[in-house]
Chains A and B, each alone.
Chain A
Amino acid sequence: MSDEYDNNKSYQAQSSEVMDGSTGSVNPDIDYVRPAEVGEQDLYHGHSFIEKWVFCQDAKVIGVQYFLTAVFTGIVGLILSWLMRLQLGFPELAGFMTAEHYYQFVTMHGMIMVVYFLTALFLGGFGNYLIPLMVGARDMVFPYVNMLSFWMFFVAVAVLMASFFVPGGPTGAGWTLYPPQTILEGTPGSGMGILLMLISLSLFVIGFTMGGLNYMITILQARTRGMTLMRMPLTVWGIFTATVLAMLAFPALLVSAIMMTLDKVLQTSFFMPTILKAGEVLEYGGGSPILFQHLFWFFGHPEVYIVALPAFGIVSDLISVHARKNIFGYRMMVWAIVGIGALSFFVWAHHMYVSGMNPWFGFFFATTTLIIAVPTAMKVYNWILTLWRGNIRINTVMLWCLGFIVTFVNGGITGIFLGNVSVDVPLSDTYFVIAHFHMVMGIAPLMVIMGAVYHWFPLVAGKMLHEGLGKWHFWITFLGAYSIYFPMHYLGFIGVPRRYFEMYDSPYMTSAVGMNEFISIAAFIVGAAQFILVFNIIKTLKTGKKAEQNPWKANSLEWYTSTVPPEHGNFGERLPVVHRWPYDFSVPGAKDDFIPQTTAPSEVIHTEVEKT
């Protein structure tokens, strides 16, 4: 480094005995960790209420802001799904709902849940809160832009919600927003609704880019001493890879949103072919609707893994901690995450088997799609092998993790069905598809989120969530989710199409009606059960029992902060120094069944700990 950094050469502790104050004989050779490469981060501490809690530059506050905003949109999405189920199960009770309303609810439910709820929650929420803590940084590298990222997201959500109140209502084109119908008259919300949706998506992408740059560079360039990439918790790996995907996939969404906005506002014909409407040729002509589908799914498929990879990472950590065992095949898990991420860019057209493609393309995309099953299956085996002969604590967190594994395998297997062209074509646009993607990228990541909330709540709030309520929450959600989505596979097999407002007098009417009622009742119960968590959180914040530091006896750095909950700057005077991976559980010969990442090798020299 050249001399322009010389002013800032306040190096930190040179060896670990200073940082953790241990008194044992320290062997400088085996405990050696390289000195810090760069000086301490220059943190700006907020002074006023607004700087501390509103336009705050602390990643932890930003994480909580992201979390709460995403949960708010998620609740809106949940209510929309209730309304949809009311129409499907009990149309006689849903007299207030027209077909237009139904399409609008379907569209908004999909978009909210995928983009504004899951993506924002995992990357904005957990990413902001956990990345600096887990890699041992004081904050994100560019806190100001990180703050802007949240407020951009907030504006995007506000614009999205505003579309409920404009003339014509929100767009009802389906969350995929396929042109040409999206912007043509006759589609609900083809006026202001779609415009606000496209603006909101563009804002989301811009906001996310600001945050994503922070997540990536904090992980790459701001780890603490001793924290190598292969000592990072899998949570960080999952969020990191998902962020890389997002940085490369969201551009396609931004471009398609811009082009469609121009098609809508300026009457360009990027996606609009020549259209005859009521015998008249519209102004449009010469555009390609398939181009939109390619752009959309070039974003859309990586988006699935943007949601799934953080879930994979987080669940690995939760399972390891609560089964008191090291994660089986850590490096394999890392490479599987990276491999899935890379492959996810080469599978997008499996969403377009029925759009009209050269059969060889179908063959290619079916092959790449099925190859993704390999690293994914490796991960599932590794989770199970981590549990194998572990000292499993069946607490709420572990229940959610087990629920995740089962649900994810279930949804993954139906994915193999749909990845094959010949099986997909008859199942396309049926309830089978709905069941598949809700299992694999709806319920499964949601279970991880729930597990993560129960796991990290003591860190964020300093209080333990109520276990009994948590178990009720889990069992109702788990059994209920299966009651909703298992029958949908069957509905798909008998050919019930998705996105239909009503079955009218079709043959499905007789065979599907009872099942639809059952599914709807289950959906109402599962949705209501989520408020157990809200109640649990409010109750815990008021009267809950105080959490000790590191209640789960975990190893990773977020539990070793100077205060609980951590303050701005995270680690007090000195940054932690890392000597090992975060998975040293139940090491033979060790005093406790866990060895924190900050424990120096000389302190555990008599144990059978592996070198990591």
Chain B
Amino acid sequence: MSEQKIDGFELKPGFKGMASDTGSDQTMFKGVHWGKAMMWIFLLSDTFVFSCFLISYMKGRGSTIVDWPNTSEVFSLYVGGVPVPLLLIAIMTFVLITSSGTMALAVKYGYEKNRKMCGWLILATAVGGLTFVGMQVFEWSKLIHEGVRPWGNPFGASQFGSFFFMITGFHGFHVSIGVIFLFIYTYKVFAGHYESKKRGWFTKMKGDYVEIEILGLYWHFVDLVWVFIFAFFYLW
């Protein structure tokens, strides 16, 4: 979206441009689809949700009277009898970041009107997301098997399990919602809804490939949040 031409309006670079866009009529973000602006604002709000979760976690971990469990032990996988710390998380993170890459490519091919490539790449992203959720289910069941519960665990402070299940659960919920939408959009792209200007099932609106970019924004956000959760939970 580099070549922007807006009738009767000069797009200036830098701070001056921002000021003149803000002072103009009709739109504040010139040439930005309303849905994209809406997704950005939603993500800002969602950032506050995750920030509140993570700040609460830091406060909870900082003020608990019982020692926090040793995370590199708790989160290690045994490979041939040898504990490998962070193995599963490394794979999960890799899968999720890779799915961000396929999502970005899907957006590119969408704008190039390469319907087939776009569809396959969204499908790949969805599969990546599903794999991530699957591995999270595996991790949860492993921890539950080892006796970690939201109200207590054998390794240390009870808040460990509380925060872990709550925050990774909330993030996993975000990923799952994303996966559902990725599958829906895989169908929409393959079925050619954007070419035929078919109206949405619920919204009754005509779609456009910009929707793929909007979905991509959400997906990248979910990945970015994971990076923070990864850092705060597994590396701290």
Contact = CB atoms under 8 A, between A and B. Distances in A.
Interface of A: 1-2, 4-5, 7, 11, 33-38, 42, 44, 57, 141-142, 144-145, 209, 212-214, 216-217, 220-231, 247-248, 250-252, 254-256, 258-259, 262, 266-270, 283, 285-288, 291, 295, 298, 578
Interface stretch (B35-43, B117-125, B178-186, B224-232): B35-43
A500 to B, nearest CB: 32
A231 B53 CA distance: 39
B34 A283 contact: no
Q: 5 smallest A-B Cβ distances: which pairs?
A: A34-B8, A251-B48, A268-B162, A255-B52, A44-B204
B52 A295 contact: yes
A141 B32 CA distance: 13
B59 A291 contact: yes
Given A141-B34, A251-B52, 6 more contacts: A2-B3, A37-B9, A224-B26, A251-B51, A266-B151, A291-B60
B196 interface: no
B2 to A, nearest CB: 8
A259 B28 contact: no
A298 B45 CA distance: 14
A288 B157 CA distance: 14
Given A262-B150, A291-B59, A229 B41 contact: no
B interface bracket (residues with beta carbon within 8 Å of A): 35 or more
25 contacts: A34-B7, A37-B6, A37-B9, A38-B26, A38-B27, A142-B34, A144-B202, A213-B38, A216-B41, A220-B28, A221-B37, A222-B34, A223-B27, A225-B25, A247-B45, A251-B48, A251-B49, A254-B49, A259-B166, A267-B151, A268-B151, A268-B158, A269-B162, A283-B151, A578-B25
Q: How would you classify the secondary structure of chain B's contact residues: helix, strand, loop or mixed? A: mixed
Contacts of B82: none
A287 B150 CA distance: 13
A270 B162 contact: yes
B26 A229 contact: no
Interface of B: 1, 3-9, 22-32, 34-35, 37-38, 41-42, 44-46, 48-49, 51-53, 56, 59-60, 63-66, 111, 150-151, 157-159, 161-163, 166, 170, 197, 199, 202-206, 208-210
A288 B63 contact: yes
Contacts of A38: 26-27
Given A268-B162, A286-B159, A221 B25 contact: no
A286 B152 CA distance: 11
B25 A269 contact: no
Nearest to B46: A251
B174 to A, nearest CB: 13
B167 to A, nearest CB: 10
B53 A255 contact: yes
B26 A262 contact: no
Contacts of A255: 49, 52-53, 56
Contacts, number: 169
Most buried by A among B1, B51, B65, B151: B151
Contact of B25 (A11, A34, A259): A34
Contact of A247 (B4, B35, B44): B44
B52 A227 contact: no
A31 B56 CA distance: 55
Contacts of A288: 59-60, 63
Contacts of B203: 142, 144-145
B38 A141 contact: yes
B25 A217 contact: no
A88 B204 CA distance: 54
A221 B27 contact: yes
Contacts of A37: 6-7, 9, 26-27, 30-31
Given A259-B166, A268-B151, A286 B56 contact: no
